[in-house]
Amino acid sequence: MALIVQKYGGTSVGSPERIKNVAERVARFRAQGDQVIVVVSAMSGETNRLIALAKEIAQNPDPRELDVVLSTGEQVTIGLLCMALKEAGVDAKSYTGGQVRILTDSSHTKARILDIDEAPIRRDLEAGNVVVVAGFQGVDERGNITTLGRGGSDTTGVALAAALKADECQIYTDVDGVYTTDPRVVPEARKLDTITFEEMLELASLGSKVLQIRSVEFAGKYKVKLRVLSSFDDRGQGTLITVEEDQNMEQPVITGIAFNRDEAKLVVLGVPDIPGVAYQIIGPVADANLDIDMIIQNVGNDGLTDFSFTVARADCDKALKVLETVREKIGARALKSDRTMAKVSVVGVGMRSHPGVASKMFRTLAEEGINIQMISTSEIKISVAIEEKYLELAVRVLHKAFGLEEGAASV
């Protein structure tokens, strides 16, 4: 008998029919003797419908009240799923975030979970109930309804698994696991049986949007066994996200290849090469709430240097506006921007102990005539910025070069 947390996203509960399917799967786990906690999102489309209603009232709806409105989406799903479970002969009880209670801070629309009162859940489980909890929501200490931000249901699932020391947290989605890269770009992409939390974080933040990043961090921190599965295919085992590296001899150096099409490069030319200048440039951009990705400062020359970084393409104009003020203030020569950038990253914990990954990556791209414009590295990742038109080609040749389709890497 295991204690399992299952989280179902909006597509998996997108219609009464699909909710019944979820109830049937849960019933099978119960029949095996498992205790099950189910976390659900709003039915697909519902959150957008509610946001649209709010936007008709106010361009910038009051955050506290927006949370009151948005949290109803998951509340509908927990009620419907419990009805379906009871129809399937399974005892079930629903909880909103406030009822559990999932205590968060008061940052409406992006609250963080502080504590979960697991006692009532434990009691219900022991009484033979399936416990169905609304994802994405909680309450602050004064009882105000909060939400965790988009994708927050994953975090709810992991937090419940951590609080109740569940044997596994299963995230059901519309893909059957984590792949070496996007199968739409590389048809030979292979589903991974396991991946480490660190690798998952790098892959997720780089564009393989299977799981919400925060939930992966959370799972890593509290050592929750996390598994990504398809809710439309009962056969596979999905991908298990583990704390430990795979101890096999023939461990692959590279686990996967992530990419992001949506980058823009900004260059500040002729920057005085003095201490603090990086902060003077990046500070105002960050203050304008623009996410900065790769940052490169060239070696100075005649006391001047060039400073480059990338932002999401949609933020390019806003960033340029901020930079123009900065340029005048610090006396830089000029600004340049390029909106046709893409980023490709190879990710793998194996590269810690295997030198030569970077040189292999650069050689592979050079052989195809792909110019690398920026490079950034971490312990388990190497990212390069290239022209967008070469993106698919780059991903395909790297996927092949690192032997990902065969299940074993060679440097």
Residues forming contacts to a second copy in the complex (CB under 8 A) are 16, 19-20, 50, 53-54, 56-58, 61-62, 64-69, 71-72, 75-76, 78-80, 82-84, 86-87, 93-94, 96, 98-99, 143, 145
Q: Which is nearer to a second copy, 88 or 393 (CB)?
A: 88
Q: Which is nearer to a second copy, 147 or 305 (CB)?
A: 147
Q: Which is nearer to a second copy, 147 or 242 (CB)?
A: 147
State in angstroms the smallest separation of the CB of 175 from a second copy. Answer: 26
Q: Which long-range contacts (CB under 8 A, 24 or more apart) does 114-117 make?
A: 116/159, 116/160, 116/163
Q: Which is nearer to a second copy, 72 or 373 (CB)?
A: 72
Locus of tokens 């009051």? 62
Angle formed at CA 371 by CA 370 and CA 376, multiple of 5 degrees: 115
- Asked whether the beta carbons of 146 and 111 are under 8 A apart, the reply is yes
Q: Which is nearer to a second copy, 121 or 397 (CB)?
A: 121
State in angstroms the smallest separation of the CB of 69 from a second copy. Answer: 4
State in angstroms the smallest separation of the CB of 31 from a second copy. Answer: 20
**Quick one: which of 223, 41, 26, 25 has its CA closest to 125?**
26
Q: How far is CA 244 from CA 251, 349, 389, in A?
A: 13, 10, 37
- Asked whether the beta carbons of 350 and 409 are under 8 A apart, the reply is yes
State in angstroms the smallest separation of the CB of 42 from a second copy. Answer: 10
Locus of tokens 């479970």? 85
State in angstroms the smallest separation of the CB of 72 from a second copy. Answer: 4
State in angstroms the smallest separation of the CB of 19 from a second copy. Answer: 6
Q: Which is nearer to a second copy, 142 or 184 (CB)?
A: 142
State in angstroms the smallest separation of the CB of 127 from a second copy. Answer: 13
Q: Which long-range contacts (CB under 8 A, 24 or more apart) does 117-123 make?
A: 118/160, 118/163, 118/164, 120/95, 121/37, 121/95, 121/160, 121/164, 122/164
Locus of tokens 């610090």? 330
216, containing H or E segment: helix 213-221
Plot region of 245 (φ>0 → left; ψ -120 to 50 → alpha; else → beta): beta
Q: How far is CA 403 from CA 253, 283, 298, 340, in A?
A: 10, 41, 33, 29
Q: How far is CA 95 from CA 18, 284, 294, in A?
A: 20, 43, 42
Q: Which is nearer to a second copy, 78 or 267 (CB)?
A: 78
State in angstroms the smallest separation of the CB of 314 from a second copy. Answer: 26
Q: Which is nearer to a second copy, 140 or 315 (CB)?
A: 140
**Both structure tokens of 411:** 């440097």
HSE of 107, CA atoms in CB hemisphere, 13 A: 8
State in angstroms the smallest separation of the CB of 58 from a second copy. Answer: 5
Q: Which is nearer to a second copy, 117 or 367 (CB)?
A: 117
- Asked whether the beta carbons of 255 and 204 are under 8 A apart, the reply is no
